[in-house]
């Protein structure tokens, strides 16, 4: 099976209207920049996105939002995107906010084939509305359902032609768990190496989870918010 695709555009060509898509990253760290840009150029609409956050105005997933591509978003933090706030308040976008640890575990459960689990996070808050609760050892827990997607777009530092991936430092974040929780996982790489050049103990995402790989053309690697001390 040839997993190497010539361009980001080719790799996302069959993403369809109404698809559910997971996008790796935390803030702007470890986001699949080239795949997002290709998806924006494709212009597919009515997407249901799952990501920790929504990028920033003019970059990352913020570009998808500006292009009117997103119908609903499931995530944890959206505070850096003014346009998202406007669309949610206007009723133009369905936003589902989840505690960050719960979001991570729902995705991990989806990849592990676990349909649901119990967590204490959110008990007694609006997070609990409409959810089953149960007491264990004198403490209340909420039942949370696993998350899966049609496509996962992830970013890796290095990978081989078989789809084995390595992430670099904090860019690891949500990428490994999302890679396991989609029907089709598309990984963009900074570096492509031959099979065998990545040692077995170095592999963070085994190639069995990855269907497509593409080498990114360029990376801006922006910082979401830079705060410096005045002199």
pLDDT reported for residue 225:
73
**Cβ 157 vs Cβ 150: under 8 Å:** no
pLDDT reported for residue 172:
95
**What is the rounded CA–CA span in Å between residue 162 and residue 192?**
10
88-103: average pLDDT? 93
100-105: average pLDDT? 97
pLDDT reported for residue 1:
72
pLDDT value at 171 more than 80? yes
Record the tokens describing residue 84, joined without a space: 């998202």
Please write the tens of the pLDDT for every residue from 47-72: 999 999 988 888 999 999 999 999 99
Helix H, strand E, coil C: the string for 30-87 is CCCHHHHHHHHHHCCCCEEEECCCCCECCECHHHHHHCCCEEEEEECCCCCCHHHHHH
Residue 52 sits at the vertex; the CA angle it makes with 119 and 46, to the nearest 5 degrees, is 110
Please write the tens of the pLDDT for every residue from 129-140: 999 999 999 999
**Cβ 27 vs Cβ 54: under 8 Å:** no
Strands (E), 29-167: 47-50, 70-75, 94-97, 116-119, 133-136, 139-145, 149-160, 165-166
Nearest alpha carbon to residue 98 among 132, 73, 61 = 73
Strand ranges across the sheet with 139-145: 116-119, 139-145, 133-136
30-45: average pLDDT? 96
| Mean pLDDT rounded to a whole number for the chain | 94
Domains of the chain, earliest start first: 8-115+148-215 (3.40.1080.10)
Backbone φ and ψ for 72, nearest 5 degrees, come out as -150, 155
156-170: average pLDDT? 96
């Amino acid at each position: 099976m040839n997993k190497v695709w010539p361009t980001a555009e080719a790799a996302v060509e069959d993403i369809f209207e109404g698809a559910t898509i997971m996008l790796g990253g935390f803030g702007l760290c470890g986001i699949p920049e080239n795949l997002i840009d290709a998806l924006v150029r494709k212009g597919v609409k009515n997407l249901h996105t799952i990501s920790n956050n929504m990028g920033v105005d003019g970059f990352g997933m913020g570009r998808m939002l500006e292009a009117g591509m997103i119908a609903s978003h499931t995530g944890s933090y959206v505070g850096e995107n003014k346009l998202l706030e406007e669309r949610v308040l206007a009723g133009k976008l369905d936003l589902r906010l989840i505690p960050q640890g719960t979001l991570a575990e729902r995705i991990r459960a989806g990849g592990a084939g676990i349909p649901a689990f119990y967590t204490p996070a959110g008990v007694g808050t609006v997070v609990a509305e409409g959810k089953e609760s149960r007491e264990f050892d004198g403490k209340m827990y909420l039942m949370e359902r696993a998350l899966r997607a049609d496509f996962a777009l992830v970013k890796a530092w290095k990978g081989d032609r078989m789809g084995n991936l390595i992430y670099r430092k904090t860019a690891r974040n949500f990428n490994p768990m999302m890679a396991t929780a989609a029907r089709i996982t598309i990984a963009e790489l900074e570096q492509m190496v031959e099979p065998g050049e990545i040692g077995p103990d170095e592999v963070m995402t085994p190639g069995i989870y990855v269907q497509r790989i593409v080498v990114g053309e360029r990376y801006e690697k922006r910082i979401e918010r830079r705060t410096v001390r005045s002199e």
